[in-house]
Amino acid sequence: MFRLGLFRMLKIAALYVVFVSMGVFLLVLSVYVELKREAGYRRHYGANWQAEFEKYHGSLAQAHLKIAIAVGALLAVITILFWYYRRNVAAKSRRGGRSSSRRRTSR
């Protein structure tokens, strides 16, 4: 019975790792694509790159807003992961592996 619960817990943990990894990957990819697109237009069109960019991709301010939102979301994910690590993983190692619900009995 214990093995089944452990296996289920490992599957859920693996699912979380894959989900978070894909989210981080997609956020980084979206920032990379936007910055590469903008750099390509700067290199190809020179001084008139903004007009050409806006003709095909919409507002340049909107593209910068997409980048800012993706970077903000990436920072939020990193902050949440750091908080989770500090709260759960590092705290258990400092307590010697005991869970927080157990209290130490004094003698």
Question: Cα–Cα distance between 91 and 100 in angstroms, integer?
Answer: 9
pTM to 2 decimal places: 0.73
Tell me the chain's radius of gyration from C-alpha atoms: 23
pLDDT above 70 covers what percent of the chain? Answer: 84
Q: Are 86 and 74 in contact (CB under 8 A)?
A: no
Q: How far apart are CA 46 and CA 29, in angstroms?
A: 25
68-88 confidence digits (pLDDT tens): 999 999 999 999 989 988 888
